[in-house]
Structure 1
Amino acid sequence: MSGLLVDADAIRALAEILTDTGLTEIEVSEKDSRIRVARAPATVQATAPAAVAAPAPAPVAAPAAPVPAAPADLSRHPGAVNSPMVGVAYLTPDPSSPPFVSEGQIVSAGQTLLLIEAMKTFNQIKAPKAGTVKTLLVTSGDPVEFGQPLAIIE
């Protein structure tokens, strides 16, 4: 371990981003180094195992169970567009512009649906197929996790 160089300031900065955004994990890669910072899952994720684990905790978790269950079910939807990364979602290219797409709009494959900002880089999230935007599951400024459903295209 003596050859391992740790950038404590970078780790602190990433941990602060996790705290500020409410995310549970962030990873940065540069050349041959990689830093991944993760923290314990939020209570929303903690309620899902309680609902599945045993019948006794189910009544306690029952009010919160429908909220986490909906995104999990939607991520498996055949028209789901899932987040390829952790970051912050934006539905417009800038605050004064109209949204890239809206619910009910017909989109073509490759059309930009939204942006995800990760480490001050804006990444275009494009429609994987042509269809109609049935539902947008995020709003501008929402933190998103890897694999989280962002939209449904049918």
Structure 2
Amino acid sequence: MSRLLVDADAIRALAEILTETGLTEIEIAEKDSRVRVVRAAPAATHAVAAPAPVAPVAPVVAAPAVPAAPADLSKHPGAVTSPMVGVAYLTPDPSSPPFVTEGQQVTAGQTLMLIEAMKTFNQIKAPRAGTLTKILVPSGEPVEYGEVLAIIE
């Protein structure tokens, strides 16, 4: 019978990252071990209001057409997705210019942004050459695994 060795300090550190970033889950894997920490979403509270007095009914006017929702960007052939959970940074440090800007030509392997996970900054590189048409994450915001970060056309 094998024993599972759990590093309680690592689990506490992951839980702290969840609290700091507002994420709901985080997972790390090394060699033959994997640790996943999931935080339950806060319970929704419902307020019950007293019924409002009934007003006279106005004639119904047709509402303008609602534009269609944008296409699922994860299926876009130029989507650059996050390989991990962490915090995205568009600049190497607060006083530096961004790695790339929308409309810029990028080369395969060029750094687009950083994702900080477990106090480590991981470079997110362009998977192919093209024009960076859209950056979808603001600097300093948490990102989830598989989230679309940018679009290269």
Q: Which structure has the bigger radius of gyration?
A: 2
Could you say what the CA RMSD is over the residues aligned between the two structures, in angstroms? 2.5
Is the CA contact (8 Å cut-off) linking 1:24 and 1:42 kept in structure 2?
no
Per the TM alignment, residue 17 of structure 1 is displaced from its structure 2 partner at its CA by 1.1
The Cα offsets for residues 100-152 of structure 1, whole Å up to 9 and x where unpaired, read as 00001111111110001111111111111111111100111010000000001
Provide structure 2 residue ranges, at least 5 long, that are not aligned to the other structure.
Answer: 44-66
Q: What amino acid is the match of 2:149?
A: L
Counterpart in the other structure of 1:78: 77
Distance 1:10 1:73 in 2: 35
Distance 1:18 1:136 in 2: 24
Counterpart in the other structure of 1:9: 9
TM-score, with structure 2 as normaliser: 0.74
Distance 1:76 1:42 in 2: 30
Q: What amino acid is the match of 1:3?
A: R
Provide structure 1 residue ranges, at least 5 long, that are not aligned to the other structure.
Answer: 44-65
Aligned residues: 129
More helix by share: 1
- Identical pairs, percent: 80
Q: What amino acid is the match of 1:14?
A: L
Per the TM alignment, residue 3 of structure 1 is displaced from its structure 2 partner at its CA by 2.4
Structure 1 residues 146 and 130, CA, compared in 2 at 3 Å: closer, same or farther?
Answer: same
- Aligned ranges for residues 1-154 of structure 1 at < 5 Å? 3-30=3-30, 32-40=32-40, 73-154=72-153
TM-score, with structure 1 as normaliser: 0.73
